[in-house]
Structure formats: structure tokens, C-alpha cells
Amino acid sequence: MFNPSRRLAVVTCALTTNPKRVSLPSNVAFEAGLLKRSIVEVGKLTSLQKTQLGFYIGILTEARVVKLLAGIRFLRRLPDERRSPLSLAL
């Protein structure tokens, strides 16, 4: 996710091209002009310094951001034993 603020870090989600991953309820299909159809793995959040980011590849629509945030909220409601270590920090 892009953060236009002056902060030095951003929260990112992993991307995969594995079509089987789209069936997970928190993941979101991602069509933003990438070479391959990709899936955002909402459960794989990480924080990066902006200096670690590569080149600009696109922008998310408001509808996609809403779906990503819904995926994060879904993961936060799972019982503790089903959460990934990163989802505990939300």
C-alpha cells in the first residue's frame, strides 16, 4: 500500500502469482497492469523502509483498498491459533 506521508516506512502485503492462493478468504485478486495476474496475500504483512521499495508499478483503486482492509479485518477476527505471527501485531 502506498503511504504519501513523510514517514520513512510503509506497510506492504506479499504478492503471489499462484492462483490457488486466491481462494483464501483474506486474499484479494490484483489486476493493476502487472505482467501476470497476482493475488495480494493480506496475511503476509510486513513493514519496509521506503528506501527498500523498487520502482512504481501502479495504483490501487478505492474498491481494492476496501477489499484489502476487509481482508485484514477478517484475519484479526480469527482465533489465535489460526493467526500468523504478523497478524498479531495489527
Read off the CATH number of the domain in which 34 is found. 2.30.30.110
Predicted pLDDT of residue 1: 52
> DSSP labels for 67-82?
HHHHHHHHHHTS-GGG
Structural domains counted in the chain? 1
Does any domain span residue 2?
no
What is the model's pTM?
0.65
The mean pLDDT values, 10 residues at a time, for the chain of 90 residues are 68 88 83 80 90 82 87 80 47
Question: Contact 68/1 with Cβ under 8 angstroms?
Answer: yes
Check residue 49 and give its pLDDT: 92
Q: Is residue 77 within 8 Å of residue 87, measured between CB atoms?
A: no
User: Does some domain include residue 1?
Assistant: no
| pLDDT at residue 88 in the model | 42
pLDDT of 4: 60
30-35 LR contacts (CB < 8 Å, sep 24+): 30/64, 32/57, 32/58, 32/59, 32/60, 32/64, 33/57, 33/58, 34/58
Residue 75 · residue 33 · CB < 8 Å? no
Q: Which domain holds residue 29?
A: 9-89
54 located within any domain: yes
Residue 48 within any structural domain of the chain: yes
